[in-house]
């Protein structure tokens, strides 16, 4: 009776009530989704109910449908799994169960549901929505409610979020949890690596993924695996054993002391017969290798979410609430996805249908279709994996005339992705018959010591998970002695250069380009591959290394927050790197749940500080006696000359009048990261290979121009270049470029243009970074 009275009191003007549930297999980031939906809901004037234990919460109602307040989800960003529970609920598959779910929702005045789960959970949600009007009618006919009571709830709004470690959903580039799971796999395989190398053993590592090989493929790339088995590109039934043996033996013959094979749980051969870890083990044992199997199992779902998943869960959770408020009865239920780094809404059932079609394609042996149905970069990553793992088979060598000498140099402060990128570039170059050279200790090393040496397969093959710079890096620029730089390039017959670095790397490429008049050897293709923790290189959305930095900060801030929460009312002001660019500070604030963020882009003044102090007071007031909730402020190292980290902490102390206290924390160089994150590893590989391909293509174009006499007649502005030791004239090319990463796409931008049009030279960042 009491509950019915509540139904009676609600009108169309009452606050919108939304339920949020997590369903199916858990994934890291689900807690962060619930937090974002609850807080965005409250912010947008809604009431949000946590539906506990997946769909069971709806079916059973009662205590399993509980209103959540702002403070209830405090700290959930840094928690793994899902605190509202998840389940596979059989009752919800039956109409009876869904009728009960509709009743429980109407009892609480809820007519919107945000579901975070896999394709099964989203299918169930859409079915529920399509049945809803009939379910409501039935609840009236069977006397549960009156017409008047159900009047405000004639339609159900459904919004789907994809929480899945498999990254198997179509129409989104990434699912919430996939990168965290990949990170867990990388951590585990790194651990296994050291023991494998000690005993010269082979390890077969089995990872999750029934119909989807994303985790296995990416793990193969990140962990420098010799071989992978994935369902979308099955191994040939008659020949896989032979091929596996050949590849592993070849690597051993080159000096590798360990063998790593990654097997997706759904691995099959091209006759659709299952390939198990035991099958692979047998084969490796036949080769005489001491072999072990490691099934990673639920470790892959464990631990806290990485920075990217926290970000994804947060922005998608907010978008889900907006979608609830904007959806009309005629709009198809949306699924929130991310495409090309932009949050998007896509028709949920179309995405589910497309996802299911991959399994169908595999079962019908249409493997090319299955590959094509995966996200836009899947095929490319597969080809990248082949280049760097099996490309040493001399099957893809270019003709002598097309082989190049390409040098790689690290410039600026180290980042965790430098070695992974260099390794990928070297392995790719060698696979095509090019020669790879490493310049040691940046431009200083080249200028002072002519430090440049050829790099072989075995030199780099262990670099996939090493932070820092094996080549050595520093901040010096080629202008230190451009003549010496040109001399060493010429003396070593270098025909292409990859500069991996941050703003200094970018500036170095600009200087080299400008020096071409004087030193024609520098007309060679030169690519800047952006790599910096600050993510401040103009003209690119992303620089490799910044994700590792964010993850280091996430762990650091979690620890600091925990410490702050253990003491009574303590606020930490954490100073992060980034130079004049607030990217790291802003992202760190978003993914750690900071109370305030100070960046150079947004002016800090007395007024803004006062507002933050007010917010802090309010936040403590909202804690309802929970005095142990730690708060953090994030301050970029150059946010303000006046309001230093120390001063902000002192202001907090002063404003508190003893009610709470403050501390500072400065992670410093730890932010460069010790081990590259999984996202940085796969990006490093992809972008390094792209850079090599740019150099190859530029060489092709130049060769085409050289043979085209008319081209030279038409061009006035001629330059010189050196090809295979001969001096040749070529036209002024735009082949000094920045590898520009925009979401999942990569393009090469003329360095001159980016420098002139998009660079804040004094601020050492892009003009459009705010
Ligand atoms: P994962 O990818 O981890 O398997 P999932 O969401 O696909 O996640 P499922 O077990 O397929 O996991 O679905 C989770 C729950 O969603 C089911 O237990 C059930 O309650 C509900 N559900 C799934 N499919 C349907 C359906 N067709 N009709 C009604 N409910 C469904």
Question: Can you give the pLDDT at residue 3?
Answer: 53
pLDDT band, residue 211 (cuts 50/70/90): confident
Is pLDDT above 70 for 705?
Answer: no
Tell me, in angstroms, the distance from the centre of ligand 1 to residue 160's CA: 13
pLDDT tens digits along 536-564: 999 999 999 999 999 999 999 999 888 87
Atom of ligand 1 nearest to the CA of 98: 29
Q: Mean per-residue pLDDT for 326-330? A: 92
Distances (CA, A) of 640 to 575, 594, 601, 646, 762: 12, 18, 10, 12, 16
399: number of Cβ within 10 Å: 7
Q: Mean per-residue pLDDT for 741-746? A: 85
Tokens linked to 624: 């309802």
pLDDT band, residue 574 (cuts 50/70/90): very high
Question: Can you give the pLDDT at residue 700?
Answer: 82
Contact, 457 vs 469, CB < 8 A?
no
Tell me, in angstroms, the distance from the centre of ligand 1 to residue 88's CA: 6
Q: Mean per-residue pLDDT for 384-390? A: 96
Is pLDDT above 70 for 769?
Answer: no
Atom of ligand 1 nearest to the CA of 88: 18
Contact, 473 vs 437, CB < 8 A?
no
pLDDT band, residue 398 (cuts 50/70/90): very high
Question: Can you give the pLDDT at residue 745?
Answer: 85
Question: Is the Cβ atom of 25 under 6 angstroms away from ligand 1?
Answer: yes
Atom of ligand 1 nearest to the CA of 87: 18
Tell me, in angstroms, the distance from the centre of ligand 1 to residue 322's CA: 24
Atom 31 (ligand 1): residue with closest C-alpha?
124
Question: Can you give the pLDDT at residue 674?
Answer: 86
Is pLDDT above 80 for 710?
Answer: no
Measured between alpha carbons, how far is 22 from 306 in angstroms, rounded to an integer?
19
Q: In what order do the strands lie in the sheet with 661-665?
A: 596-598, 631-636, 570-576, 661-665
Measured between alpha carbons, how far is 759 from 537 in angstroms, rounded to an integer?
9
Tell me, in angstroms, the distance from the centre of ligand 1 to residue 734's CA: 53
Tokens linked to 492: 């070593």
Of 166, 193, 375, 612, which residue is the catalytic one?
166
Cα 363 from chain centroid?
A: 30
Question: Can you give the pLDDT at residue 619?
Answer: 83
Contact, 663 vs 573, CB < 8 A?
yes
Question: Is the Cβ atom of 88 under 6 angstroms away from ligand 1?
Answer: yes
Tokens 């631990």 belong to: 303
Is pLDDT above 80 for 407?
Answer: yes
pLDDT tens digits along 104-151: 999 999 999 999 999 999 999 999 999 999 999 999 999 999 999 999
Question: Is the Cβ atom of 93 under 6 angstroms away from ligand 1?
Answer: yes
pLDDT band, residue 624 (cuts 50/70/90): low
Question: Can you give the pLDDT at residue 10?
Answer: 64
Q: Which residues pair with 632 in a beta bridge?
A: 572
Measured between alpha carbons, how far is 449 from 442 in angstroms, rounded to an integer?
11
**Which residue, 591, 598, 579, is CA-closest to 652?**
598
pLDDT band, residue 349 (cuts 50/70/90): very high
Atom 27 (ligand 1): residue with closest C-alpha?
124
Comparing 84-98, 215-229, 653-667, the range with the smallest average pLDDT is 653-667
**Which residue, 731, 687, 677, 678, is CA-closest to 706?**
731
Atom of ligand 1 nearest to the CA of 166: 2
- Three-state DSSP class for residue 344: strand
Mutate to test the pocket of ligand 1, among 58, 102, 120 (most ligand atoms within 8 A of CB): 120
Tell me, in angstroms, the distance from the centre of ligand 1 to residue 300's CA: 20
Is pLDDT above 70 for 1?
Answer: no
- Three-state DSSP class for residue 647: helix
Question: Can you give the pLDDT at residue 375?
Answer: 79
Question: Is the Cβ atom of 127 under 6 angstroms away from ligand 1?
Answer: yes
Q: Mean per-residue pLDDT for 170-176? A: 94
- Three-state DSSP class for residue 405: strand
Question: Can you give the pLDDT at residue 733?
Answer: 58
Question: Can you give the pLDDT at residue 715?
Answer: 45
Question: Can you give the pLDDT at residue 716?
Answer: 44
| Beta strands in 223-290, from DSSP E residues, in sequence order | 227-229, 259-264
Q: Mean per-residue pLDDT for 285-299? A: 94
Tell me, in angstroms, the distance from the centre of ligand 1 to residue 24's CA: 6
**Which residue, 501, 506, 496, 505, is CA-closest to 526?**
496
Question: Is the Cβ atom of 117 under 6 angstroms away from ligand 1?
Answer: yes
Top pLDDT among 485 and 716 is at 485
Comparing 218-227, 282-291, 474-483, 725-734, the range with the smallest average pLDDT is 725-734
Question: Can you give the pLDDT at residue 492?
Answer: 95
Q: Mean per-residue pLDDT for 317-340? A: 95
Length of the chain: 770
Arithmetic mean of pLDDT over the chain:
91
Measured between alpha carbons, how far is 261 from 166 in angstroms, rounded to an integer?
19
Is pLDDT above 80 for 155?
Answer: yes
Question: Is the Cβ atom of 457 under 6 angstroms away from ligand 1?
Answer: no
Question: Can you give the pLDDT at residue 200?
Answer: 87
Distances (CA, A) of 116 to 82, 490, 689: 10, 58, 35
Q: How much helix, strand and coil, in percent to the nearest 5, is found in the chain? A: 50, 20, 35
pLDDT tens digits along 249-261: 999 999 999 999 9
Is pLDDT above 50 for 488?
Answer: yes
Measured between alpha carbons, how far is 473 from 508 in angstroms, rounded to an integer?
13
pLDDT band, residue 713 (cuts 50/70/90): very low
Question: Is the Cβ atom of 128 under 6 angstroms away from ligand 1?
Answer: no
Active site residue 173: no
Contact, 160 vs 115, CB < 8 A?
yes
Question: Can you give the pLDDT at residue 717?
Answer: 46
Mutate to test the pocket of ligand 1, among 94, 97, 117, 121 (most ligand atoms within 8 A of CB): 121
């Amino acid at each position: 009776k009491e509950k019915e009275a509540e139904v009676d009191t609600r009108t169309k003007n009452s606050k919108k009530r939304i339920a949020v549930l997590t369903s199916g297999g858990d994934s890291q980031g689900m807690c962060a989704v619930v937090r974002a939906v609850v807080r965005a809901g409250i912010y947008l004037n809604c009431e949000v109910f946590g539906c506990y234990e997946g769909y069971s919460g709806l079916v059973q109602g009662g205590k399993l449908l509980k209103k959540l307040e702002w403070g209830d989800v405090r700290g959930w960003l840094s928690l793994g799994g899902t605190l509202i529970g998840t389940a596979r609920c059989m009752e919800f598959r039956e109409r009876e169960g869904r009728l009960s779910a509709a009743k429980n929702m109407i009892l609480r005045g809820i007519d919107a549901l945000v579901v975070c789960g896999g394709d099964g959970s989203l299918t169930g949600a859409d079915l529920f929505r399509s049945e809803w009007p009939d379910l409501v009618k039935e609840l009236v006919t069977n006397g549960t409610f009156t017409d008047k009571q159900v009047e405000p709830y004639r339609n159900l709004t459904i919004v789907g979020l994809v929480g899945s470690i498999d990254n198997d959903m179509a129409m989104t580039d990434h699912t919430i949890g996939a990168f965290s799971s990949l990170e867990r796999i990388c951590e585990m395989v790194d651990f296994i690596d050291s023991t494998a190398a000690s005993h010269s053993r082979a390890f077969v590592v089995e990872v999750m993924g029934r119909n989807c090989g994303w985790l296995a493929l990416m793990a193969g790339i990140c962990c420098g695996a010799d071989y992978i088995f994935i369902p979308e590109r099955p191994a040939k039934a008659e020949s896989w054993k032979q091929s596996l043996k050949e590849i592993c033996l070849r690597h051993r013959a080159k000096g590798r002391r360990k063998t790593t094979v990654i097997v997706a749980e759904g691995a099959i051969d091209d006759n659709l017969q299952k390939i198990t870890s035991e099958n692979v083990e047998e084969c490796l044992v036949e080769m005489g290798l001491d072999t072990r199997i490691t099934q990673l199992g639920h470790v892959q779902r464990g631990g806290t979410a990485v920075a990217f998943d926290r970000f994804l869960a947060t922005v998608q959770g907010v978008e889900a609430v907006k979608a609830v408020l904007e959806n009309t009865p005629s709009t198809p239920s949306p699924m929130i996805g991310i495409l090309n780094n932009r949050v998007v809404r896509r028709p949920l059932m179309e995405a589910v249908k497309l996802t299911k079609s991959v399994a169908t394609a595999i079962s019908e042996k249409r493997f090319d279709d299955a590959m094509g149905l995966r996200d836009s970069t899947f095929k490319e990553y597969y080809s990248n994996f082949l280049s760097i793992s099996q490309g040493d088979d001399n099957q893809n060598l270019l003709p002598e005339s097309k082989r190049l000498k390409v040098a790689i140099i690290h410039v600026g402060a180290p980042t965790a992705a430098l070695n992974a990128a260099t390794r990928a570039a070297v392995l790719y170059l060698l696979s095509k018959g090019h020669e790879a050279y490493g310049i040691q200790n940046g431009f200083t090393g080249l200028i002072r010591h002519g430090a440049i040496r050829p790099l072989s397969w075995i030199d780099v093959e262990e670099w996939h998970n090493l932070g820092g710079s094996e080549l050595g890096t520093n901040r010096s620029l080629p202008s230190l002695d451009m003549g010496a730089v040109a001399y060493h390039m010429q003396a070593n017959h270098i025909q292409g250069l990859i500069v991996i670095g941050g703003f200094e790397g970018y500036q170095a490429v600009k200087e080299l380009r400008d020096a071409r008049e004087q030193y024609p050897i520098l007309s060679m293709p030169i690519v800047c591959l952006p790599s910096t923790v600050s993510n401040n290189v103009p003209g690119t959305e992303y620089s490799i290394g910044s994700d590792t930095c964010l993850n280091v900060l996430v762990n650091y801030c979690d620890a600091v927050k925990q410490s702050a929460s253990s003491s009574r009312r303590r606020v930490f002001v954490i100073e992060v790197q980034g130079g004049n660019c607030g990217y790291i500070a802003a992202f760190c604030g978003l993914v750690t749940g900071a109370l305030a963020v100070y960046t150079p882009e947004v002016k800090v003044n007395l007024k803004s500080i006062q507002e933050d102090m007010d917010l802090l007071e309010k936040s403590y007031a909202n804690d309802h006696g929970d005095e142990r909730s730690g708060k953090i402020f994030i301050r970029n190292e150059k946010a303000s000359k006046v309001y230093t980290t120390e001063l902000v902490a002192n202001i907090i102390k002063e404003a508190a009048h003893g009610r709470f206290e403050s501390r500072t924390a400065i992670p410093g160089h730890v932010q460069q990261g010790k081990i590259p994150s999984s996202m940085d590893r796969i990006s490093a590989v992809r972008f390094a290979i792209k850079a090599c391909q740019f150099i190859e293509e530029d060489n092709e174009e130049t060769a085409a121009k050289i043979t085209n006499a008319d081209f030279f007649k038409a061009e006035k502005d001629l330059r010189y270049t050196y090809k295979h030791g001969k001096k040749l004239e070529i036209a002024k090319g735009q082949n000094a470029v920045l590898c520009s990463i925009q979401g999942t796409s990569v393009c090469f931008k003329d360095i001159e243009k980016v420098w002139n049009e998009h660079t804040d030279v004094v601020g050492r960042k892009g003009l459009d970074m705010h």
